[in-house]
Structure 1
């Protein structure tokens, strides 16, 4: 694992820290790969109930390390090949650092402070929840570099905001103050200490059945834009799998006996 990315496990909660404060946690290709690998490593983690993404130092993530542009220009053919190589419908090397978090069976919370620009903004959008400091600033900044956002934003932004507003942000690279980002639906909430608030949220998730965390996340991810027929069918299928399962029975018994539940998994 890249030493500039650390995973700390405290009981049922894992924290993934971007630890490159001297560069405001800007991402180079090695950190792209490290983020994807971190997400993969947490998929099968026993007893995990939540993941927190955050950044060391003065910012969550300032975006892509601009030195990568020169590096990519020197290997342009291979970079384009990596973009286009995956089987259609699967994420490429540049999308995996974002898309991997939706594949985890637990909630992922991004705690944002300072700036979340460009690749950092797209990484935050890959989380299930975004808690930001009131003075945080956010931007889909790729247009400033003559590019479009391409880290899975087609899977994240349409679920959060209107098409016209998304176009404006993508085409202008406008920097948003946190209150406006909240109004637009890009943030879950504001908090003076976003990391503390993220930890409090993770602690609440830790009390929930892991089966509910997994199925509830899938319910939204898989059905939010489906028409009624397929959506209702998927909803019923997920619920049928939960009914009378060991953890569901334990939830009922714990509630009836007024005690904390003891879930497995």
Structure 2
């Protein structure tokens, strides 16, 4: 029996999700895509989870698509490439974009290679911390391809149009420091797990419903008209004003105490 491609450990309200093909530098194959979807579903169902840390085992975060493995199953590729009428995403896109759609913050911790599919997975997270010497690349250009695992949307949200075009058209390799300068990475550290843990600690001090609603608010209004954005604001704020966790926050602040929140009630 083969080892799981994706490991999930939930401890102290934090879900640590680990890509688990270290011998292949965590290259993405078809089973990993399915396991990413299943793991995200399990995280979503656990309302006690406050944040997700996404990482790679061994010497890399993820070196990209494992072409040698994937091309052995052309029929499965065709099936995986067909979009779901409900989601408007195919398997390759959904396996990565589902992390953006989770109602909890997702933090990618990047080291080693972050190529192609790996870069698209990292940029689907809400935050990314990287080592200075990590190698980042939209590597699809090397193979005469374009990013097609939700990466085009992630790139346009994180960097300017000229940077997105340059990275996508050239496939040039940049280090973690440059990735941070471009806006791909949220921060740089020799041990990126440390700023990730600091951010998780800060997030856990806030209402899980407020954090989830804030993620929804910013995702849904990024390209919305002001009129549409204001409508989303009103609807979410009303939900927060009526939430039990907001009442807990107000009472705790009045007493100058740390709030003891209930499990997340907002977001499916």
CA distance in 1, matches of 2:15, 2:87: 29
Deviations 1:22-45 (A, max 9, x none): 111111111111111111111110
**111-120 or 85-94, which deviates more:** 85-94
- For the structure 1 residues 144 and 215, does the alpha-carbon distance in structure 2 shift closer, same or farther, using more than 3 Å as the test? same
CA distance in 2, matches of 1:7, 1:209: 24
CA distance in 2, matches of 1:89, 1:39: 15
1:88 CA drift (Å): 7.0
Map of 2:25 onto structure 1: 24
CA distance in 2, matches of 1:196, 1:78: 39
> Does structure 2 conserve the Cα–Cα contact (< 8 Å) formed by 1:25 and 1:60?
yes
Number of positions where the alignment pairs a residue of Structure 1 with one of Structure 2 = 262
> Does structure 2 conserve the Cα–Cα contact (< 8 Å) formed by 1:36 and 1:96?
yes
CA distance in 2, matches of 1:200, 1:10: 16
- Report the secondary structure of 1:100's partner residue: helix
1:58 CA drift (Å): 1.1
Map of 2:4 onto structure 1: 3
1:154 CA drift (Å): 3.1
CA distance in 2, matches of 1:46, 1:28: 29
Map of 2:266 onto structure 1: none
Map of 1:126 onto structure 2: 124
| Structure 1 runs not aligned, ≥5 long | none
> Does structure 1 conserve the Cα–Cα contact (< 8 Å) formed by 2:5 and 2:31?
no
Map of 1:64 onto structure 2: 65
1:149 aligns with one of 147, 150, 157: 147
CA distance in 2, matches of 1:262, 1:85: 42
> Does structure 1 conserve the Cα–Cα contact (< 8 Å) formed by 2:129 and 2:185?
yes
1:69 CA drift (Å): 4.9
1:65 CA drift (Å): 1.2
> Does structure 1 conserve the Cα–Cα contact (< 8 Å) formed by 2:70 and 2:77?
no
Which residues of 2 match residues 1-265 of structure 1 at below 5 A?
3-72=4-73, 75=74, 79-87=77-85, 90-265=88-263
- For the structure 1 residues 92 and 129, does the alpha-carbon distance in structure 2 shift closer, same or farther, using more than 3 Å as the test? same
- Report the secondary structure of 1:17's partner residue: strand
> Does structure 1 conserve the Cα–Cα contact (< 8 Å) formed by 2:83 and 2:89?
no
- Report the secondary structure of 2:92's partner residue: coil
CA distance in 1, matches of 2:83, 2:94: 13
Deviations 1:44-92 (A, max 9, x none): 10311000000111111111113135314xx2x5523431342175211
> Does structure 2 conserve the Cα–Cα contact (< 8 Å) formed by 1:2 and 1:31?
no
CA distance in 2, matches of 1:140, 1:12: 33
- For the structure 1 residues 243 and 69, does the alpha-carbon distance in structure 2 shift closer, same or farther, using more than 3 Å as the test? closer
1:199 CA drift (Å): 2.0
- For the structure 1 residues 259 and 38, does the alpha-carbon distance in structure 2 shift closer, same or farther, using more than 3 Å as the test? same
